[in-house]
Amino acid sequence: MRDNEYNDYYVIVGKFFKRKRAETVLSIQDVAEILGRSKGWYGDAERGRNALTLEDCMKICDIYHTDLGELDKFIRASLNNKKDT
């Protein structure tokens, strides 16, 4: 992957988690506390400014009662839409 593809990936992952959080009553602060991270760290993750580890993604998926499969589908669909434009 090129650097800009990594950046696209981070933004897409962040967008997925931001959408999932919007489906709940949780705030960025709530999620950060559950993860044992700072509010700034999680906010940056949702904006695609942090490279999340697989472990981070698994923990966040658990919080939102989703799984890595759904995240993967979102990433693939987003990347395919980007290629089509």
Q: How large is the average pLDDT for residues 13-40?
A: 98
**Where along the chain do its domains lie?**
3-84
Q: What pLDDT, in 10s, does the model give residues 32-71?
A: 999 999 999 999 999 999 989 999 999 999 999 999 999 9
Q: Report whether 12 contacts 77 (CB < 8 A).
A: no
Can you tell me the distance from the alpha carbon of 70 to that of 66, in angstroms, rounded to the nearest whole number? 7
Can you tell me the distance from the alpha carbon of 49 to that of 14, in angstroms, rounded to the nearest whole number? 8
Q: In the prediction, which pLDDT does 82 show?
A: 72
Q: How large is the average pLDDT for residues 5-26?
A: 92
- Compute the mean pLDDT over every residue in the chain, rounded to the nearest whole number: 92
Element (H, E) at 73: helix 68-84
Can you tell me the distance from the alpha carbon of 78 to that of 76, in angstroms, rounded to the nearest whole number? 5
Can you tell me the distance from the alpha carbon of 75 to that of 20, in angstroms, rounded to the nearest whole number? 14
Query: Under CATH, what is the fold of the domain 3-84?
Result: 434 Repressor (Amino-terminal Domain) (1.10.260)
Q: In the prediction, which pLDDT does 57 show?
A: 97
